[in-house]
Structure 1
Protein backbone atom coordinates (compact mmCIF):
# COMPACT_ATOMS: atom_id res chain seq x y z
CA UNK A 1 0.00 0.00 0.00
CA UNK A 2 1.03 3.60 -0.42
CA UNK A 3 0.82 5.83 2.63
CA UNK A 4 0.64 9.62 2.52
CA UNK A 5 2.00 11.57 5.46
CA UNK A 6 0.84 15.16 6.01
CA UNK A 7 3.44 17.13 7.95
CA UNK A 8 2.69 20.63 9.22
CA UNK A 9 5.72 22.84 8.60
CA UNK A 10 6.20 26.19 10.29
CA UNK A 11 7.92 28.69 8.03
CA UNK A 12 9.15 31.94 9.52
CA UNK A 13 9.59 34.92 7.19
CA UNK A 14 11.29 38.01 8.54
CA UNK A 15 10.67 41.34 6.85
CA UNK A 16 13.75 43.35 5.92
CA UNK A 17 12.01 46.64 6.73
CA UNK A 18 10.80 45.75 10.21
CA UNK A 19 11.37 43.36 13.07
CA UNK A 20 7.92 41.86 12.66
CA UNK A 21 7.91 38.13 12.08
CA UNK A 22 5.12 36.64 9.99
CA UNK A 23 4.30 32.96 10.34
CA UNK A 24 2.93 30.86 7.54
CA UNK A 25 1.78 27.29 7.82
CA UNK A 26 2.17 24.86 4.97
CA UNK A 27 1.41 21.21 4.51
CA UNK A 28 3.97 18.98 2.87
CA UNK A 29 2.86 15.64 1.48
CA UNK A 30 5.29 12.74 1.46
CA UNK A 31 4.36 9.58 -0.40
CA UNK A 32 6.04 6.43 0.90
CA UNK A 33 5.55 3.14 -0.92
CA UNK A 34 5.45 0.52 1.83
CA UNK A 35 4.31 -2.39 -0.35
CA UNK A 36 6.26 -5.47 0.65
CA UNK A 37 7.83 -3.84 3.71
CA UNK A 38 5.62 -5.23 6.49
CA UNK A 39 6.91 -8.33 8.29
CA UNK A 40 4.00 -9.23 10.56
CA UNK A 41 4.44 -12.91 9.73
CA UNK A 42 7.82 -12.87 11.54
CA UNK A 43 6.30 -11.87 14.88
CA UNK A 44 6.10 -15.45 16.13
CA UNK A 45 9.84 -15.97 15.49
CA UNK A 46 10.89 -13.18 17.86
CA UNK A 47 10.65 -12.68 21.62
CA UNK A 48 9.07 -9.43 22.77
CA UNK A 49 10.51 -7.55 25.75
CA UNK A 50 7.64 -5.08 26.23
CA UNK A 51 3.84 -5.17 26.15
CA UNK A 52 3.39 -1.67 24.73
CA UNK A 53 5.34 -0.38 21.74
CA UNK A 54 8.25 1.83 22.78
CA UNK A 55 10.23 1.87 19.54
CA UNK A 56 9.57 4.33 16.72
CA UNK A 57 7.07 3.11 14.13
CA UNK A 58 7.89 2.76 10.44
CA UNK A 59 5.89 5.94 9.81
CA UNK A 60 7.91 7.87 12.38
CA UNK A 61 11.13 6.52 10.92
CA UNK A 62 10.19 7.55 7.38
CA UNK A 63 9.35 11.05 8.56
CA UNK A 64 12.66 11.40 10.42
CA UNK A 65 14.64 11.96 7.20
CA UNK A 66 17.01 9.05 7.86
CA UNK A 67 20.50 8.68 6.43
CA UNK A 68 20.03 6.72 3.19
CA UNK A 69 22.01 5.55 0.17
CA UNK A 70 21.44 7.27 -3.15
CA UNK A 71 22.97 7.22 -6.64
CA UNK A 72 26.24 8.67 -5.27
CA UNK A 73 26.42 7.32 -1.73
CA UNK A 74 26.40 3.57 -2.29
CA UNK A 75 29.06 2.02 -0.08
CA UNK A 76 29.72 1.20 3.58
CA UNK A 77 33.33 1.67 4.72
CA UNK A 78 35.23 0.25 7.68
CA UNK A 79 38.18 2.25 9.03
CA UNK A 80 40.54 0.36 11.38
CA UNK A 81 42.65 2.68 13.54
CA UNK A 82 45.19 2.60 16.34
CA UNK A 83 47.29 -0.36 17.46
CA UNK A 84 45.65 -3.62 16.45
CA UNK A 85 46.58 -7.27 16.71
CA UNK A 86 47.04 -8.89 13.27
CA UNK A 87 44.45 -11.56 14.12
CA UNK A 88 41.85 -8.89 14.89
CA UNK A 89 42.62 -7.06 11.66
CA UNK A 90 42.22 -10.39 9.84
CA UNK A 91 38.86 -11.04 11.51
CA UNK A 92 37.62 -7.65 10.31
CA UNK A 93 38.80 -8.42 6.78
CA UNK A 94 37.13 -11.84 6.84
CA UNK A 95 33.81 -10.31 7.93
CA UNK A 96 33.28 -8.45 4.64
CA UNK A 97 31.28 -11.28 3.03
CA UNK A 98 28.96 -11.50 6.03
CA UNK A 99 28.49 -7.73 6.22
CA UNK A 100 27.75 -7.41 2.50
CA UNK A 101 25.12 -10.13 2.89
CA UNK A 102 23.66 -8.64 6.06
CA UNK A 103 23.43 -5.12 4.60
CA UNK A 104 22.91 -6.08 0.94
CA UNK A 105 25.39 -3.34 0.01
CA UNK A 106 29.09 -3.10 -0.93
CA UNK A 107 31.38 -2.96 2.12
CA UNK A 108 35.03 -1.88 1.82
CA UNK A 109 37.94 -1.53 4.24
CA UNK A 110 40.04 1.63 4.30
CA UNK A 111 43.77 1.50 5.17
CA UNK A 112 44.36 1.38 8.92
CA UNK A 113 45.38 4.64 10.59
CA UNK A 114 48.27 3.82 12.95
CA UNK A 115 48.39 5.02 16.53
CA UNK A 116 51.53 6.99 15.69
CA UNK A 117 49.49 8.95 13.13
CA UNK A 118 46.79 9.55 15.73
CA UNK A 119 49.31 10.77 18.30
CA UNK A 120 51.01 13.10 15.81
CA UNK A 121 47.73 14.86 15.04
CA UNK A 122 47.31 17.73 17.50
CA UNK A 123 43.55 17.85 16.84
CA UNK A 124 42.98 14.37 18.30
CA UNK A 125 42.90 13.98 22.06
CA UNK A 126 44.29 10.96 23.89
CA UNK A 127 44.84 10.05 27.53
CA UNK A 128 45.84 7.05 29.62
CA UNK A 129 43.21 4.47 30.55
CA UNK A 130 42.29 4.95 34.24
CA UNK A 131 44.36 2.61 36.44
CA UNK A 132 41.17 1.24 37.99
CA UNK A 133 40.16 -0.11 34.57
CA UNK A 134 43.44 -0.91 32.91
CA UNK A 135 44.66 -3.70 35.22
CA UNK A 136 41.64 -5.91 34.58
CA UNK A 137 41.51 -5.41 30.82
CA UNK A 138 45.27 -5.72 30.41
CA UNK A 139 45.07 -9.08 32.18
CA UNK A 140 42.01 -10.14 30.17
CA UNK A 141 43.88 -9.43 26.94
CA UNK A 142 47.03 -11.21 28.06
CA UNK A 143 49.19 -8.09 28.14
CA UNK A 144 48.26 -5.07 26.05
CA UNK A 145 50.70 -2.29 26.88
CA UNK A 146 50.28 -0.79 23.40
CA UNK A 147 46.59 -0.21 24.24
CA UNK A 148 47.42 1.82 27.33
CA UNK A 149 45.98 5.06 25.90
CA UNK A 150 42.37 5.99 25.19
CA UNK A 151 41.31 7.98 22.10
CA UNK A 152 38.69 10.74 22.37
CA UNK A 153 35.83 9.78 20.06
CA UNK A 154 34.58 13.12 18.72
CA UNK A 155 38.00 14.54 17.85
CA UNK A 156 38.88 11.38 15.90
CA UNK A 157 35.56 11.33 14.03
CA UNK A 158 35.86 15.00 13.11
CA UNK A 159 39.39 14.71 11.74
CA UNK A 160 39.54 11.32 10.08
CA UNK A 161 35.95 10.43 9.32
CA UNK A 162 33.86 13.53 8.64
CA UNK A 163 36.65 15.56 7.01
CA UNK A 164 37.98 12.61 4.98
CA UNK A 165 34.80 10.68 4.24
CA UNK A 166 34.95 8.93 0.82
CA UNK A 167 32.68 10.54 -1.78
CA UNK A 168 30.66 7.35 -2.32
CA UNK A 169 30.27 6.53 1.39
CA UNK A 170 26.79 6.29 2.87
CA UNK A 171 28.32 5.21 6.19
CA UNK A 172 31.82 4.93 7.66
CA UNK A 173 32.54 2.92 10.81
CA UNK A 174 35.85 3.26 12.64
CA UNK A 175 37.06 0.18 14.53
CA UNK A 176 39.77 0.24 17.18
CA UNK A 177 41.17 -1.96 19.92
CA UNK A 178 41.89 1.14 21.99
CA UNK A 179 39.49 2.30 24.66
CA UNK A 180 37.55 5.40 23.59
CA UNK A 181 35.97 8.17 25.66
CA UNK A 182 34.29 11.57 25.43
CA UNK A 183 33.70 14.58 27.66
CA UNK A 184 30.74 12.89 29.38
CA UNK A 185 31.92 9.30 29.85
CA UNK A 186 35.18 7.68 30.99
CA UNK A 187 34.71 5.02 28.32
CA UNK A 188 32.40 4.17 25.43
CA UNK A 189 31.65 0.98 23.51
CA UNK A 190 30.74 3.12 20.52
CA UNK A 191 29.87 6.62 19.34
CA UNK A 192 28.25 8.01 16.21
CA UNK A 193 27.14 11.07 14.30
CA UNK A 194 24.19 9.80 12.29
CA UNK A 195 23.66 13.10 10.47
CA UNK A 196 27.17 12.68 9.05
CA UNK A 197 26.86 8.92 8.58
CA UNK A 198 29.94 8.15 10.68
CA UNK A 199 30.57 6.25 13.88
CA UNK A 200 33.17 4.21 15.69
CA UNK A 201 33.42 1.26 18.04
CA UNK A 202 36.00 0.06 20.54
CA UNK A 203 36.64 -3.64 21.16
CA UNK A 204 38.82 -2.87 24.20
CA UNK A 205 36.22 -4.07 26.72
CA UNK A 206 34.43 -6.54 24.45
CA UNK A 207 36.99 -9.10 23.26
CA UNK A 208 39.52 -11.34 25.01
CA UNK A 209 40.94 -13.02 21.87
CA UNK A 210 38.98 -16.16 22.72
CA UNK A 211 36.54 -18.12 20.58
CA UNK A 212 33.82 -15.45 20.87
CA UNK A 213 36.04 -12.66 19.52
CA UNK A 214 34.87 -13.05 15.92
CA UNK A 215 31.21 -13.02 16.87
CA UNK A 216 31.52 -10.16 19.34
CA UNK A 217 33.13 -8.09 16.58
CA UNK A 218 30.39 -9.17 14.15
CA UNK A 219 27.67 -8.06 16.55
CA UNK A 220 29.09 -4.66 17.48
CA UNK A 221 30.05 -3.81 13.89
CA UNK A 222 26.63 -4.82 12.51
CA UNK A 223 24.76 -2.99 15.26
CA UNK A 224 26.67 0.26 14.93
CA UNK A 225 26.32 0.32 11.14
CA UNK A 226 22.55 -0.21 11.40
CA UNK A 227 22.48 2.76 13.79
CA UNK A 228 24.23 4.84 11.09
CA UNK A 229 21.13 4.40 8.92
CA UNK A 230 19.25 6.33 11.64
CA UNK A 231 17.69 3.18 13.11
CA UNK A 232 17.80 3.49 16.87
CA UNK A 233 18.39 0.85 19.52
CA UNK A 234 15.46 -1.53 20.02
CA UNK A 235 13.53 -1.89 23.29
CA UNK A 236 10.48 -3.89 22.20
CA UNK A 237 12.18 -7.12 21.05
CA UNK A 238 15.23 -9.26 21.65
CA UNK A 239 17.30 -7.88 18.80
CA UNK A 240 20.79 -7.10 17.53
CA UNK A 241 20.00 -3.47 18.35
CA UNK A 242 19.48 -4.03 22.08
CA UNK A 243 21.72 -1.95 24.34
CA UNK A 244 24.50 -3.92 26.06
CA UNK A 245 26.38 -2.90 29.18
CA UNK A 246 29.07 -5.56 29.11
CA UNK A 247 30.89 -8.25 27.14
CA UNK A 248 28.70 -10.87 28.83
CA UNK A 249 25.47 -9.15 27.76
CA UNK A 250 26.81 -8.81 24.22
CA UNK A 251 27.60 -12.52 23.98
CA UNK A 252 24.07 -13.40 25.11
CA UNK A 253 22.56 -10.97 22.60
CA UNK A 254 21.05 -11.54 19.18
CA UNK A 255 22.49 -11.51 15.65
CA UNK A 256 18.99 -10.96 14.21
CA UNK A 257 17.10 -7.75 13.59
CA UNK A 258 13.58 -7.51 15.01
CA UNK A 259 10.70 -7.35 12.50
CA UNK A 260 10.20 -3.61 13.10
CA UNK A 261 13.91 -2.80 12.75
CA UNK A 262 14.17 -4.91 9.61
CA UNK A 263 11.17 -3.14 8.07
CA UNK A 264 12.93 0.19 8.56
CA UNK A 265 16.12 -1.17 7.09
CA UNK A 266 14.26 -2.62 4.10
CA UNK A 267 12.57 0.74 3.48
CA UNK A 268 15.95 2.47 3.69
CA UNK A 269 18.03 0.15 1.50
CA UNK A 270 15.38 -1.42 -0.73
CA UNK A 271 16.73 -4.99 -0.77
CA UNK A 272 14.81 -8.20 -1.45
CA UNK A 273 13.80 -9.96 1.78
CA UNK A 274 13.96 -13.51 0.44
CA UNK A 275 17.34 -13.00 -1.22
CA UNK A 276 18.80 -11.69 2.04
CA UNK A 277 17.21 -14.44 4.13
CA UNK A 278 18.47 -17.16 1.78
CA UNK A 279 22.02 -15.80 1.69
CA UNK A 280 22.17 -15.46 5.49
CA UNK A 281 20.79 -18.98 5.86
CA UNK A 282 23.69 -20.26 3.77
CA UNK A 283 26.34 -18.32 5.71
CA UNK A 284 25.13 -19.59 9.08
CA UNK A 285 24.82 -23.13 7.69
CA UNK A 286 28.45 -23.01 6.54
CA UNK A 287 29.49 -21.71 9.97
CA UNK A 288 27.68 -24.55 11.72
CA UNK A 289 25.00 -22.47 13.45
CA UNK A 290 21.93 -24.64 12.96
CA UNK A 291 19.61 -22.39 14.97
CA UNK A 292 20.26 -19.25 12.90
CA UNK A 293 20.31 -21.20 9.64
CA UNK A 294 16.87 -22.63 10.44
CA UNK A 295 15.60 -19.19 11.50
CA UNK A 296 16.49 -17.63 8.14
CA UNK A 297 15.02 -20.61 6.34
CA UNK A 298 11.70 -20.08 8.17
CA UNK A 299 11.76 -16.39 7.26
CA UNK A 300 11.63 -17.13 3.53
CA UNK A 301 8.25 -16.93 1.80
Structure 2
Protein backbone atom coordinates (compact mmCIF):
# COMPACT_ATOMS: atom_id res chain seq x y z
CA UNK A 1 0.00 0.00 0.00
CA UNK A 2 1.25 3.47 -0.90
CA UNK A 3 2.48 5.94 1.69
CA UNK A 4 0.09 8.90 1.37
CA UNK A 5 1.13 12.54 1.69
CA UNK A 6 -1.63 15.16 1.89
CA UNK A 7 -0.80 18.72 0.84
CA UNK A 8 -3.21 21.10 2.59
CA UNK A 9 -3.49 24.79 3.43
CA UNK A 10 -6.05 27.13 4.91
CA UNK A 11 -5.43 29.92 2.41
CA UNK A 12 -5.77 29.88 -1.35
CA UNK A 13 -2.74 30.76 -3.45
CA UNK A 14 -0.10 29.60 -0.98
CA UNK A 15 1.40 27.05 -3.38
CA UNK A 16 -0.28 23.74 -2.55
CA UNK A 17 -0.46 22.57 -6.15
CA UNK A 18 3.10 23.75 -6.82
CA UNK A 19 4.35 21.63 -3.92
CA UNK A 20 2.12 18.64 -4.71
CA UNK A 21 3.26 18.46 -8.34
CA UNK A 22 6.93 18.77 -7.43
CA UNK A 23 6.58 16.21 -4.63
CA UNK A 24 4.98 13.74 -7.03
CA UNK A 25 7.77 14.29 -9.54
CA UNK A 26 10.49 13.96 -6.89
CA UNK A 27 9.00 10.86 -5.26
CA UNK A 28 8.65 9.20 -8.66
CA UNK A 29 12.45 8.89 -8.65
CA UNK A 30 12.16 6.76 -5.49
CA UNK A 31 9.17 4.60 -6.41
CA UNK A 32 5.93 4.42 -8.36
CA UNK A 33 3.91 7.54 -7.54
CA UNK A 34 0.29 8.66 -7.91
CA UNK A 35 -0.83 12.29 -7.77
CA UNK A 36 -4.41 12.72 -6.50
CA UNK A 37 -5.93 16.12 -7.26
CA UNK A 38 -8.80 16.45 -4.81
CA UNK A 39 -9.10 20.22 -5.28
CA UNK A 40 -12.32 19.41 -7.09
CA UNK A 41 -13.58 22.99 -7.46
CA UNK A 42 -10.43 24.03 -9.32
CA UNK A 43 -8.16 21.08 -10.17
CA UNK A 44 -5.33 23.04 -11.79
CA UNK A 45 -2.78 20.20 -11.62
CA UNK A 46 -3.90 19.32 -15.16
CA UNK A 47 -2.01 22.42 -16.30
CA UNK A 48 1.24 20.65 -15.41
CA UNK A 49 0.46 17.22 -16.86
CA UNK A 50 1.89 16.37 -20.25
CA UNK A 51 -0.86 13.89 -21.08
CA UNK A 52 -4.45 13.47 -22.13
CA UNK A 53 -6.82 11.51 -19.86
CA UNK A 54 -6.42 7.75 -20.28
CA UNK A 55 -9.86 7.17 -18.75
CA UNK A 56 -12.79 9.26 -17.61
CA UNK A 57 -15.63 8.39 -15.24
CA UNK A 58 -18.76 10.50 -14.92
CA UNK A 59 -19.83 10.90 -11.29
CA UNK A 60 -23.60 10.87 -10.96
CA UNK A 61 -25.81 11.86 -8.07
CA UNK A 62 -29.38 10.92 -7.17
CA UNK A 63 -32.23 13.36 -7.70
CA UNK A 64 -35.85 12.49 -6.91
CA UNK A 65 -38.24 12.18 -9.82
CA UNK A 66 -41.73 12.89 -8.54
CA UNK A 67 -44.48 10.91 -10.29
CA UNK A 68 -47.37 13.33 -9.99
CA UNK A 69 -50.05 10.72 -10.85
CA UNK A 70 -49.09 8.78 -7.70
CA UNK A 71 -48.37 11.73 -5.41
CA UNK A 72 -51.08 12.41 -2.81
CA UNK A 73 -49.46 15.63 -1.52
CA UNK A 74 -49.14 14.09 1.95
CA UNK A 75 -45.91 16.00 2.63
CA UNK A 76 -44.00 13.03 4.09
CA UNK A 77 -41.07 13.56 1.73
CA UNK A 78 -40.97 17.28 2.53
CA UNK A 79 -40.98 16.65 6.28
CA UNK A 80 -38.07 14.21 5.99
CA UNK A 81 -35.91 16.32 3.65
CA UNK A 82 -33.11 17.58 5.89
CA UNK A 83 -31.67 20.15 3.43
CA UNK A 84 -35.19 21.47 2.65
CA UNK A 85 -34.84 20.75 -1.06
CA UNK A 86 -38.50 19.70 -1.40
CA UNK A 87 -41.34 22.20 -1.14
CA UNK A 88 -45.04 21.36 -0.87
CA UNK A 89 -47.28 23.70 -2.82
CA UNK A 90 -50.66 22.98 -1.17
CA UNK A 91 -53.21 21.49 -3.52
CA UNK A 92 -50.79 21.53 -6.46
CA UNK A 93 -47.50 19.62 -6.31
CA UNK A 94 -44.20 18.91 -4.60
CA UNK A 95 -41.39 20.99 -6.06
CA UNK A 96 -37.69 20.08 -6.03
CA UNK A 97 -35.01 22.75 -5.53
CA UNK A 98 -32.21 20.75 -7.12
CA UNK A 99 -29.42 23.06 -5.91
CA UNK A 100 -30.26 22.22 -2.28
CA UNK A 101 -30.64 18.46 -2.78
CA UNK A 102 -27.89 16.34 -1.20
CA UNK A 103 -28.80 13.18 -3.09
CA UNK A 104 -29.42 11.10 0.04
CA UNK A 105 -32.56 9.36 -1.29
CA UNK A 106 -34.49 9.53 2.00
CA UNK A 107 -37.51 11.04 0.23
CA UNK A 108 -37.83 7.98 -2.00
CA UNK A 109 -37.58 5.62 0.97
CA UNK A 110 -40.24 7.36 3.10
CA UNK A 111 -42.84 8.02 0.39
CA UNK A 112 -45.86 5.84 1.30
CA UNK A 113 -47.25 5.95 -2.26
CA UNK A 114 -44.04 5.11 -4.15
CA UNK A 115 -44.42 8.40 -5.98
CA UNK A 116 -40.67 9.09 -6.09
CA UNK A 117 -38.37 7.30 -8.50
CA UNK A 118 -34.66 7.53 -9.20
CA UNK A 119 -33.17 10.05 -11.57
CA UNK A 120 -29.55 11.12 -11.86
CA UNK A 121 -27.57 14.25 -12.62
CA UNK A 122 -23.94 14.63 -13.60
CA UNK A 123 -22.06 15.89 -10.53
CA UNK A 124 -18.53 15.81 -11.91
CA UNK A 125 -15.74 13.84 -13.55
CA UNK A 126 -12.83 11.72 -12.37
CA UNK A 127 -10.01 11.39 -14.87
CA UNK A 128 -6.88 9.23 -14.91
CA UNK A 129 -3.62 10.32 -16.49
CA UNK A 130 -0.55 8.30 -17.47
CA UNK A 131 2.14 10.94 -17.89
CA UNK A 132 5.66 10.84 -19.31
CA UNK A 133 6.83 12.76 -16.23
CA UNK A 134 7.35 9.69 -14.05
CA UNK A 135 4.04 9.66 -12.15
CA UNK A 136 0.36 8.96 -12.78
CA UNK A 137 -2.56 11.13 -11.73
CA UNK A 138 -6.20 10.92 -10.68
CA UNK A 139 -8.05 14.23 -11.00
CA UNK A 140 -11.52 14.92 -9.62
CA UNK A 141 -13.51 17.85 -10.99
CA UNK A 142 -16.87 19.10 -9.78
CA UNK A 143 -19.33 20.24 -12.42
CA UNK A 144 -19.77 24.05 -12.30
CA UNK A 145 -22.78 25.20 -10.23
CA UNK A 146 -22.78 21.91 -8.28
CA UNK A 147 -22.53 22.41 -4.51
CA UNK A 148 -21.31 18.96 -3.48
CA UNK A 149 -17.61 19.64 -2.93
CA UNK A 150 -17.10 17.33 0.12
CA UNK A 151 -18.91 14.46 -1.61
CA UNK A 152 -16.84 14.88 -4.77
CA UNK A 153 -13.64 14.92 -2.70
CA UNK A 154 -14.63 11.62 -1.07
CA UNK A 155 -15.51 10.05 -4.42
CA UNK A 156 -12.12 11.11 -5.82
CA UNK A 157 -10.29 9.65 -2.82
CA UNK A 158 -12.23 6.38 -3.02
CA UNK A 159 -11.56 6.11 -6.75
CA UNK A 160 -7.83 6.60 -6.14
CA UNK A 161 -7.90 4.17 -3.22
CA UNK A 162 -8.73 1.31 -5.59
CA UNK A 163 -5.34 1.80 -7.25
CA UNK A 164 -3.12 2.49 -4.23
CA UNK A 165 -1.85 -1.08 -4.09
CA UNK A 166 -0.04 -0.43 -7.38
CA UNK A 167 1.99 2.48 -5.97
CA UNK A 168 4.74 3.21 -3.46
CA UNK A 169 3.69 6.83 -2.89
CA UNK A 170 0.59 8.97 -3.33
CA UNK A 171 0.42 12.76 -3.07
CA UNK A 172 -3.02 14.31 -2.52
CA UNK A 173 -3.56 17.96 -3.47
CA UNK A 174 -6.46 19.67 -1.69
CA UNK A 175 -8.64 22.76 -1.86
CA UNK A 176 -8.01 25.63 0.56
CA UNK A 177 -9.93 25.87 3.81
CA UNK A 178 -10.77 23.86 6.89
CA UNK A 179 -14.05 22.20 5.90
CA UNK A 180 -15.19 18.59 6.11
CA UNK A 181 -13.59 17.73 2.78
CA UNK A 182 -10.19 18.86 4.04
CA UNK A 183 -10.64 16.75 7.16
CA UNK A 184 -11.32 13.72 4.96
CA UNK A 185 -8.09 14.30 3.04
CA UNK A 186 -6.08 14.76 6.25
CA UNK A 187 -7.58 11.61 7.77
CA UNK A 188 -6.67 9.72 4.58
CA UNK A 189 -2.96 10.58 4.82
CA UNK A 190 0.11 9.21 6.59
CA UNK A 191 1.87 12.59 6.48
CA UNK A 192 0.18 16.00 6.36
CA UNK A 193 2.11 18.84 4.73
CA UNK A 194 0.54 22.22 5.49
CA UNK A 195 1.56 24.95 3.05
CA UNK A 196 1.56 28.52 4.30
CA UNK A 197 3.23 31.85 3.59
CA UNK A 198 4.87 34.40 5.91
CA UNK A 199 1.96 36.85 5.87
CA UNK A 200 -0.54 37.82 8.54
CA UNK A 201 -3.34 36.05 6.70
CA UNK A 202 -1.16 33.00 6.09
CA UNK A 203 -0.42 32.71 9.82
CA UNK A 204 -4.08 33.18 10.77
CA UNK A 205 -5.21 30.45 8.38
CA UNK A 206 -2.46 28.10 9.56
CA UNK A 207 -3.67 28.50 13.14
CA UNK A 208 -7.18 27.48 12.05
CA UNK A 209 -5.83 24.56 10.04
CA UNK A 210 -3.83 23.33 13.01
CA UNK A 211 -7.02 23.13 15.10
CA UNK A 212 -8.48 20.85 12.43
CA UNK A 213 -5.26 18.82 12.31
CA UNK A 214 -5.49 18.16 16.07
CA UNK A 215 -8.75 16.28 15.44
CA UNK A 216 -6.96 13.76 13.18
CA UNK A 217 -5.12 12.19 16.12
CA UNK A 218 -1.47 11.19 15.98
CA UNK A 219 -0.67 11.80 12.32
CA UNK A 220 2.63 13.49 11.53
CA UNK A 221 2.54 17.09 10.30
CA UNK A 222 5.13 19.17 8.48
CA UNK A 223 4.75 22.83 7.49
CA UNK A 224 6.13 24.23 4.23
CA UNK A 225 6.64 28.01 4.34
CA UNK A 226 6.33 29.10 0.72
CA UNK A 227 7.54 32.54 -0.46
CA UNK A 228 10.06 32.57 2.38
CA UNK A 229 11.94 35.87 2.35
CA UNK A 230 8.88 37.83 1.24
CA UNK A 231 9.55 41.45 2.11
CA UNK A 232 7.40 42.77 4.96
CA UNK A 233 6.29 39.29 6.05
CA UNK A 234 5.74 37.86 9.53
CA UNK A 235 8.25 35.03 9.38
CA UNK A 236 9.37 35.50 13.01
CA UNK A 237 5.81 35.25 14.31
CA UNK A 238 5.19 32.23 12.10
CA UNK A 239 8.36 30.51 13.35
CA UNK A 240 7.40 31.28 16.96
CA UNK A 241 3.97 29.68 16.46
CA UNK A 242 5.51 26.56 14.92
CA UNK A 243 8.00 26.26 17.77
CA UNK A 244 5.18 26.57 20.31
CA UNK A 245 3.17 23.74 18.74
CA UNK A 246 6.28 21.64 18.11
CA UNK A 247 5.88 21.22 14.35
CA UNK A 248 8.86 20.99 12.00
CA UNK A 249 8.99 23.23 8.95
CA UNK A 250 10.83 23.71 5.69
CA UNK A 251 11.15 26.89 3.62
CA UNK A 252 10.64 27.46 -0.10
CA UNK A 253 12.45 30.67 -1.13
CA UNK A 254 10.65 33.55 -2.79
CA UNK A 255 12.52 32.99 -6.04
CA UNK A 256 11.92 34.02 -9.64
CA UNK A 257 12.34 30.46 -10.92
CA UNK A 258 9.34 29.36 -8.84
CA UNK A 259 7.15 32.07 -10.35
CA UNK A 260 8.44 31.34 -13.86
CA UNK A 261 7.80 27.60 -13.65
CA UNK A 262 4.26 28.16 -12.40
CA UNK A 263 3.53 30.65 -15.19
CA UNK A 264 4.92 28.20 -17.77
CA UNK A 265 3.02 25.23 -16.37
CA UNK A 266 6.29 23.37 -15.91
CA UNK A 267 7.54 21.34 -12.95
CA UNK A 268 10.07 23.43 -11.03
CA UNK A 269 12.57 20.74 -10.08
CA UNK A 270 12.42 19.26 -13.59
CA UNK A 271 12.79 22.53 -15.53
CA UNK A 272 14.98 24.40 -13.04
CA UNK A 273 16.89 21.74 -11.08
CA UNK A 274 19.39 24.34 -9.80
CA UNK A 275 16.71 26.58 -8.28
CA UNK A 276 17.18 27.34 -4.54
Same fold (TM over 0.5): no
TM-score normalised by L of structure 2 = 0.27
TM-score normalised by L of structure 1 = 0.26
